[in-house]
Amino acid sequence: MTESSSQNANVVVECLRSWSQQAVAEVIEFRGETTVVVPRDLLRAVAERCRADAKLQFNLLTDATCVDRYPVEPRFELNYHLVSIPRRDKVRLQVQLSGQDPVVDSLVPVWPGANWLEREIFDLFGIRFSGHPDLRRILLPEDWEGYPLRRDYPVEGFRDVPSTGELFKKSSML
């Protein structure tokens, strides 16, 4: 299993390298999964290549998600999980983003299915996708403050909730 997946990884990496030397910044192999780290500026071009290249044919974008490694910089890792239905292969594209400027090209022009996945990441991590047709919050209310899945956002106690006594005082003053 590991052998065949590393062979497949070679196909993806070789194909991308032969297209552009800068396209692959790093290749990570872990438990039979291949992660291709891509420079931020080349993401959309690499994704388009992965989808359209006859040797790769990654036609299905299964998942897109983000990991926050705060306080390490670059703190955000965007992971795109691609599946090729005709070739029965999987690969993960990864882009690393800094906390100061979390902007990346949207993949909606490549896979329309990226629309809601990117909206979810925007909603919960505050990463902006340039070129996204409809970048709004999707799960949280539109007036929500902050991005809950960031590591510096506490699990509970984000806002100071007034005690019952304070509320009573306030209401009796009215």
Per CB under 8 A, residues contacting other proteins are 30-31, 33, 35, 59-63, 65-69, 79, 81, 85, 88, 90, 92, 111-117, 120, 124, 137-141, 148-149, 151, 153, 155
Nearer to other proteins, 46 or 78 (CB): 78
Q: How far is the CB of 27 from other proteins (least distance, A)?
A: 14
Q: How far is the CB of 147 from other proteins (least distance, A)?
A: 11
Phi, psi angle pair for 78, to nearest 5°: -95, 130
Query: How would you classify the pairing of strands 76-84 and 128-130?
Result: unpaired
HSE-up of 28 (CA within 13 Å, CB side)? 11
Q: How far is the CB of 37 from other proteins (least distance, A)?
A: 12
**Beta-bridge mates of residue 66:** 78
Nearer to other proteins, 69 or 169 (CB): 69
Q: How far is the CB of 21 from other proteins (least distance, A)?
A: 26
What tokens were used for 25? 């910044």
* Residue (of 98, 143, 142, 137) closest to 121 by Cα position: 137
Torsion-angle region of 161 (φ positive above 0: left; ψ -120 to 50: alpha; else: beta): beta
Nearer to other proteins, 25 or 140 (CB): 140
